[in-house]
Amino acid sequence: MKFIDEATIDVRAGDGGNGCVSFRREKYIPHGGPDGGDGGDGGSVYLEADSSINTLIDFRHARKFLAERGGNGKGRNCTGKSGDDLVVKVPVGTIVHEDETGELIGDLVRNGQRLLVARGGFHGLGNARYKSSTNRTPRQSKPGTPGETRLLHLEMKLLADVGLLGMPNAGKSTLISAVSSARPRIADYPFTTLHPNLGVVSASAHRSFVMADIPGLIEGAAEGAGLGIRFLKHLSRTQLLLHLLDMGPNCDPVADARTIIAELERYDAGLAARDRWLVLNKTDLIPEGEREQRCRDVVKALDWSGPVFEISALARSGTDALVHAVMDFVENRKRLEESVEDG
């Protein structure tokens, strides 16, 4: 299935039903009073987060969503039927904006969460509402109000605890396939990954976190080079970034790291300041006698003071230590957030 993370849809709530002008007509009651009923309320449009949906591709073809109109009132004080609400399913992690103004309407981050995006019209009033001591035969009624119409911009951001960052062919997809059940396309050429992938990583029984793999960045991505930076938004919800560096013999990991950091800062300073760990990948390609010194030289050249992990995702060497360290970080962060909320 093609991965689509943005869409524009037109939602229209149902109009309210019109009120009725009617008078009681029965045998032996020659001057019956007004008995026109009210109309029904128009149906509203809701967006609902559904964890079984992982892309916005359905909205490429179905872009208009119209809720049911309220029924008109009838005689004998019969009220019109209210229109049914329309519930549109979207992926968890969808952000909803007004398309014309850019105003944020809501953020759907939990399965089953609902967001009202277009309210149905109010019902009209029948002539029975207008009777009084001075007006026994009112011939006026009120039409229903129109429902809201909105053009919405939907943007999906993946919900993950950890994000993978790096140049094309740094081994991000190999790592996520080594530590989770995700099976992204893996090949020896740049931009094998064309859309984000999610994988659930289990450190042990009942201990797991979600990892996100996005297409690689290159120099000039902020100007649209390569696949640009459109997928960086999927890292905005992560708690930790794993910065993978290719330690292969024909690579310059120091230059690669500086390029990624520069692109991050140009995209979002807040994302660039997020917790980030250095992961030196493909260390199995370095001769064993030179491996430790080369890794030390890279860390020194980058003036790096944070955590560093030396792994080989293909050989699955060092990945267990990385997974357990990440699991501990995620659990500690969640406990800290819970204590802040309780305090």
pLDDT of 56-109, one tens digit each? 878 878 889 999 999 999 988 899 999 999 999 998 889 999 998 989 999 998
44 vs 315, more confident: 44
On whether residue 1 sits in a domain, the answer given is: no
Q: CA–CA separation, 17 vs 145, rounded Å?
A: 8
Q: CA–CA separation, 256 vs 177, rounded Å?
A: 23
Structural domain ending residue among the three candidates 121, 156, 191: 156
On whether residue 265 sits in a domain, the answer given is: yes
Average pLDDT, the chain: 85
**Same domain, residue pair 150 and 296:** no
Quick one: tokens of 160?
């993950």
Q: CA–CA separation, 300 vs 302, rounded Å?
A: 5
On whether residue 251 sits in a domain, the answer given is: yes
**Same domain, residue pair 113 and 248:** no
Residue 114 bridge partners (DSSP): 48
Structural domain ending residue among the three candidates 104, 121, 156: 156
Q: DSSP state, 275?
A: -
What CATH number is attached to the domain comprising 93? Answer: 2.70.210.12
CA 112 to chain centroid, in Å, comes to 13
Residue 195 pLDDT: 67
Residue 105 pLDDT: 93
**Same domain, residue pair 173 and 134:** no
Q: Is 34 helix (H, G, I), strand (E, B) or coil?
A: strand
**Same domain, residue pair 189 and 310:** yes
Burial of 273 per CB tally in 10 Å (0-12, 13-18, 19+): exposed
**Same domain, residue pair 42 and 150:** yes
Q: Worst-scoring range by mean pLDDT, 46-60, 218-232, 281-295?
A: 218-232
Q: What is the mean pLDDT of residues 33-59?
A: 89
**Same domain, residue pair 325 and 182:** yes
Structural domain ending residue among the three candidates 106, 126, 156: 156
List phi, psi (to 5°) of 339: -70, -35
On whether residue 200 sits in a domain, the answer given is: yes
**Same domain, residue pair 106 and 67:** yes
**Same domain, residue pair 39 and 140:** yes
Among residues of the chain, what percentage have pLDDT more than 90?
A: 36
**Same domain, residue pair 190 and 306:** yes
List phi, psi (to 5°) of 291: -60, -50
Query: Which residues span the domain enclosing 59?
Result: 6-156
Q: From the CA atom positions of the chain, what is the Rg in Å?
A: 30
Element (H, E) at 24: none
What CATH number is attached to the domain comprising 256? Answer: 3.40.50.300
The closest alpha carbon to 222, from 266, 260, 192, 180, belongs to: 266
Q: Please give the C-alpha separations between residue 55 and each of 65, 189, 203, 246, 279, in angstroms, as whole numbers.
A: 18, 26, 27, 30, 29
Instruction: Evaluate if residue 223 carries a pLDDT over 50.
Output: yes
User: Are 174 and 313 in contact, with CB atoms under 8 Å apart?
Assistant: yes
The amino acid at residue 236 is S
On whether residue 31 sits in a domain, the answer given is: yes
Residue 189 pLDDT: 45
Q: What is the dihedral sign for C-alpha 203, 177, 273, 5?
A: negative
Residue 303's region, left for phi above 0, alpha for psi from -120 to 50, else beta, is left
233 vs 318, more confident: 318
Number of domains the chain contains = 2
**Same domain, residue pair 149 and 197:** no
On whether residue 65 sits in a domain, the answer given is: yes
Residue 21 pLDDT: 93
User: Are 173 and 193 in contact, with CB atoms under 8 Å apart?
Assistant: yes
The model's pTM is 0.71
**Same domain, residue pair 199 and 291:** yes
- What is the tens place of the pLDDT at every residue in 131-182? 988 888 899 999 999 999 999 999 888 778 888 888 888 888 888 888 887 6
Residue 41 pLDDT: 95
- What is the tens place of the pLDDT at every residue in 243-301? 999 888 888 888 888 888 888 888 778 888 888 999 999 888 888 888 889 899 999 99
Quick one: tokens of 183?
């099976």
On whether residue 305 sits in a domain, the answer given is: yes
Q: CA–CA separation, 46 vs 44, rounded Å?
A: 7
13 vs 179, more confident: 13
Instruction: Evaluate if residue 1 carries a pLDDT over 50.
Output: no
On whether residue 172 sits in a domain, the answer given is: yes
**Same domain, residue pair 114 and 133:** yes
Q: CA–CA separation, 41 vs 70, rounded Å?
A: 5
CB atoms within 10 A of CB 125: 22
